[in-house]
Structure 1
Amino acid sequence: MDWVLSDHRQSAGSLGAERTQAPARRGLASMRDLAGVGRYSAAGLGALALMCALAGGGLLLAAAIGLSESGVAEGGWLLGCGLVSAALAAVAAGLSLAAERLDRSIIGADFALVTLHGRAGEVIQLEHADGPRAHLPDDAFAGQGLFDRVLVPDRPAFLNALSAATAGANPAESLCEVRLRCEAEGAAPDFVWMEMRCLPAGEERARVLWRDIHVAKLQAEADHVARAEAERANLAKSRFLAAMSHELRTPLNTILGFSELLATDTDQRIDPRRKEDYARIIHESGQHLLGVVNDILDLSRVEAGAYELSFEAVDVPQLVDGCVEMIALDAARRSIKVTSILPARLPRPMADARAVRQMVLNLLSNAVKFSEHGGHVEVNVSAQNGVLGIAVRDAGAGMTADELARLGEPFYQTGDAERRARGSGLGLAVVRALVQLHDGAFDVASTVGGGTTVTVSLPVKRSPSVLQSVVAPFSRAGEDDVMRAPATGLAGTGLAGLAGLAGEGRRFA
């Protein structure tokens, strides 16, 4: 077999070919545009083909079949291998270049940093950096600089991921999230959340692709907190509705039941004294129901921002004495002594007198309701460092740590069934809400068997701007169009009845 070729890079003579200017014959592939034509043996042509493969191209080949049968198999096989090898080499080089460009494109788009690490986790090289380098200085990318900036709780995960990658483990198993101390300017946090994807890099090295996930991490944490808060609020609402239904249904059933007995006693079979007892039970149940409804309304107004505070200089001694007189009847029924300790000179705090009266009444009512027969309740008023304190102490059963932790939850009651039956579990919830409206403090100290002391602290003075900021949110259509919460327990009851109702609530001690 004879072959005709054109060499644009070197002379054919170097391969032992005989140069000729002979025209193309029948059966010969003619290439008239070639600079030179040579005739080669099969062995020489095979060697040339292999050189073509190694050189990556540069030779144009043309073949004609039928000129010679000598060396066809050997020369054709070598030539075919050379051509295929050249084609594969070109394709492989192209694919490698495309893959490298794709990798660089992906890294540049998705990863802020690419670092090369040794077996001990040290940084060997910073291969890629985009943006502000996660607010890291230059010394973070040398030696153990990155490791030193990983927060201590995250260092085990950092080292485990690098160790897995340097050992040639699955890259999917070498993915973790760590916090790096940063040196960002302004109000940025003192650390940044980063995702590190560790890939084996050979020779016990690891390539780490760093992704900034700080914003996404904070958003996920905020979503988790919001979801938990929503679940707690939904659970609290369900408990509130269930407890409220019970507190309303119980006195209503009592009122309806005993009133039905009186209404159907047409033949006067019920003893007159028993009728008086029935009437008293109906009256007390009605008072209890009114107190529950008023507490619910007050609590809902406070939470909805519709409870208006009308600030004035409050005469605290006079207010406390009035509350003690109102609670005295209920206390006398159970032989409970109520006393007050009032200093000779007390400042008049700027507060809502109606709200302060409700706080004191609720605290006294709870103390009396949950004190043992023949107990003692004490009110102590003091002023110090611009703060007025009103403390109500009893010598009741006290509270456990678990009960103290739930203090202030609406409808929550402590103690046994007998004590829980005395209140609705709303009294202290209302007190705490009113104290918060006054920017005050609410504190409870209690020991099991040692009684309870509930202290309300209110600021004595307030700036005009604070007074305006408190009143303004409750305004509706105009200055005079303001919703005013009714005084708890005053509508439709006498003072004696109010004394037992104004502080309907659970036991705090």
Structure 2
Amino acid sequence: MQTDSTRHWIDEWLSGLLHRSTLADPAECARQERFIISRTVTSLFALVGLPLSLLAQTGPSLLESWAALTLAPLASVFILSRWGRLAPAQALISAALTLFAATAAAGGGGLAWLVLLAVPLEALLNGSRRGLAAACLLAILGVPLTYMLQANGVAEHGLAPGAGVAIAGAILLGHMASRAVMDRRLDQILGARARSGQDPEAETLSAFDDLVTWHDGNGIILRSNGASTRLLGAPPSSIHGNGLFTRIHVADRPVFLKAVSDAINGAESALARFRVQSGDAGSHPVVWVEMRVHRLRLAGDDRCAAVAVTRDISDHQIRAEELDATRRAAVSASEGRAQLLATVSHELRTPLNAIVGYSEILMGKGGPGLLERRESYAQIINHSGQHMLGVVNTLLDLSAIEAGHYNLAFETIDVAELIEECCSVIALPAEQGDIVLRRDLAPGLPDLVADRRACRQILLNLLSNAVKFTPKGGEVAVEARHEGGFVSLAIRDTGIGVAEADLPRLGMPFYQGSGRGRIEKGNGLGLSVVRGLVTLHQGAFRISSTPGNGTCVRISLPVDARVAAAAKGLVPAARRHDHDRHDVIVLKTG
């Protein structure tokens, strides 16, 4: 039991010193673990030998060597842990050994410089090619360094043979300890693989679409069931170590780390939902996954601390977002209906009250004095009825558009002729308001294939609004352009404009904006009908405005709305009148 606890402590200590960039490469992890163990043991041996050398009253050169032998390995371990580069760490050790060997060779005479061969031989034991190359270069540089030390009289104060043997023994002891530990860990890995190969549950897990991963105490993935290919389109080796963590969306990484930490240190299990990049490094599709982490300790595998099951929930997330959007739309529609009922009551009650009141006067209930003005009363009744009829017709059109029951009768329309017709209708109100009505039509406008009544209603509503909200002396301009497969119509005015906060809500039934005088000048239904009719023609509707600088409403209609409707998969109606040569189809906006 004590042995298992010690092994677990060593594994955690090594895992904490390894750099994250190397955890996905098992071979590199093994090399660096062997290096860390050997250097740590060498440093500890030198640290124990330093006070013994002081008690034996040895020369200062040996004390300096013991101190260097204590600090150099620790510095190399720090470099390796901080940057994850084995070659610079090995180069530091080789430099220290070169200095020891050159000092020893300077006092040995003859071919004593051959001890420099120990520098590349020592680097060879760590398995780093770049570290070996650096050691060979330092050993070669050690030859002139040896002669330089001899020329400066260092030979008399060089290391004694016994001191060199002690230093070599400390280094050799470190390598022996690292070899023993790594052999023990290799036996554990081979035993675990043998057991997993004999375990039928491992084969069962490999058949799951859900990704099963085993994690250590730091959340690093030790192994998986291989389902990452199906889930993320990535090989299992790419998610081991820190591979899965680097694929997680940056904003969701704290969620992942918290779930692993909670499962290992607190609760028995934890749940997390986050986004993961799937595919190769060149592609960036994102997959929503749900991960449930459970605390787990395995016999014979001291590093394993938790197991996690991860599954794809992208379809579920999409449905949840669609349901949320539907809920918000339903709430908005409910609020719109409430506002519609509140406003339409005013629009209908006012003319009805006038009709009822003045009709009673005409029936003789108001006295002979009032009957003398019955002609003006009849005119008021007529105006009130016309107003109410217009509101009801607009409401019916709007309801038909939203329900998808508005019939479009396609025919060929001359755009210039239609604009001229609508401008002639609105010319009298513009003249009464001292407003200039200007046309700007580009030459060569194509004919539209659309519903004439709907297009006429679109233009009349937009022109009427522009004239209503343009003060005296202002200007209303109608522009027409051919842009690709669309005819662009723009109605500009120099009126009071619309505040930026009101622009997104324009086109909602009975919404009139917050400008002064808007309530008295309209009921807010015109733009709603325009937006609906443009949508039915598969067109675009845009409004731009600045308070005090006028408004521009731009609509784009396909040159052939019948083709645009067919591209949307809309089915023509079964009935067709013999006297009507136009195609009649039922369009649904939903």
State the structure with bigger RCO (CA 8 A, min sep 6), 1 or 2: 1
User: Alignment partner for residue 386 of structure 2, among 284, 287, 305?
Assistant: 287
Distance 1:113 1:348, change over 3 A: closer
Any residues of structure 2 matched to 1:79-478 within 5 Å, and which?
Answer: 112-126=210-224, 132=230, 135-166=233-264, 168-172=265-269, 174-183=270-279, 190-199=286-295, 201=297, 206-214=305-313, 215-265=315-365, 267-270=367-370, 272=372, 275-416=374-515, 418-461=517-560, 465-466=563-564, 473=571, 475=573, 478=575
What TM-score does the superposition give when structure 1 sets the normalisation length? 0.65
Distance 1:288 1:474, change over 3 A: farther
**Aligned residues of 1:178 and 1:196 also touching (Cα < 8 A):** no
Q: Which residue does 2:588 correspond to in 1?
A: none
Deviation for aligned residue 1:135: 4.5
- What are the Cα deviations for residues 106-154 of structure 1, in whole angstroms up to 9, with x where unaligned? 9999993432222332112336869945644212442112212222221
Deviation for aligned residue 1:427: 0.6
Deviation for aligned residue 1:448: 0.5
Deviation for aligned residue 1:155: 0.6
- What are the Cα deviations for residues 30-89 of structure 1, in whole angstroms up to 9, with x where unaligned? xxxxxxxxxxxxxxxxxxxxxxxxxxxxxxxxxxxxxxxxxxxxxxxxxxxxxxxxxxxx
**Aligned residues of 1:254 and 1:285 also touching (Cα < 8 A):** yes
SS in 2 for 1:309: strand
- What are the Cα deviations for residues 283-310 of structure 1, in whole angstroms up to 9, with x where unaligned? 2222211111111122222223322222
Cα distance in 1 for residues equivalent to 2:570 and 2:247:
49
Residue identity (%):
39
Larger strand share, 1 or 2: 1
Distance 1:175 1:333, change over 3 A: same
SS in 2 for 1:361: helix
**Aligned residues of 1:393 and 1:452 also touching (Cα < 8 A):** yes
**Aligned residues of 2:205 and 2:225 also touching (Cα < 8 A):** no
Stretch of structure 1 that moved more, 427-436 or 104-113 = 104-113
Deviation for aligned residue 1:428: 1.0
- What are the Cα deviations for residues 151-170 of structure 1, in whole angstroms up to 9, with x where unaligned? 2221111112223344x212
Distance 1:460 1:405, change over 3 A: same
The count of corresponding residues between Structure 1 and Structure 2 is: 376
Letter in 2 for 1:138: P
Distance 1:219 1:439, change over 3 A: closer
Distance 1:389 1:133, change over 3 A: closer
Distance 1:251 1:375, change over 3 A: farther
SS in 1 for 2:370: coil
Cα distance in 2 for residues equivalent to 1:307 and 1:365:
23
Cα distance in 1 for residues equivalent to 2:579 and 2:567:
15
Cα distance in 2 for residues equivalent to 1:377 and 1:127:
71
Deviation for aligned residue 1:205: 5.1
Deviation for aligned residue 1:204: 7.6
Stretch of structure 1 that moved more, 390-399 or 109-118 = 109-118
Q: Superposition RMSD on alpha carbons, in Å? A: 3.7
- What are the Cα deviations for residues 416-463 of structure 1, in whole angstroms up to 9, with x where unaligned? 56321221211111111111122222111100100101112222246x
Cα distance in 2 for residues equivalent to 1:482 and 1:439:
27
SS in 2 for 1:179: strand
**Aligned residues of 1:121 and 1:147 also touching (Cα < 8 A):** no
Q: Which residue does 2:194 correspond to in 1?
A: none
Could you list the runs of 5+ residues in structure 1 that have no partner in the other structure?
A: 1-100, 484-509
Cα distance in 2 for residues equivalent to 1:232 and 1:104:
52
- Please tell me whether Structure 1 or Structure 2 has the larger radius of gyration of its CA atoms: 1
SS in 1 for 2:481: strand
**Aligned residues of 1:122 and 1:142 also touching (Cα < 8 A):** yes
Distance 1:472 1:144, change over 3 A: closer
Deviation for aligned residue 1:405: 1.0
Cα distance in 1 for residues equivalent to 2:207 and 2:358:
79
Could you list the runs of 5+ residues in structure 2 that have no partner in the other structure?
A: 1-198, 581-590
Cα distance in 2 for residues equivalent to 1:450 and 1:362:
20
Deviation for aligned residue 1:206: 2.9
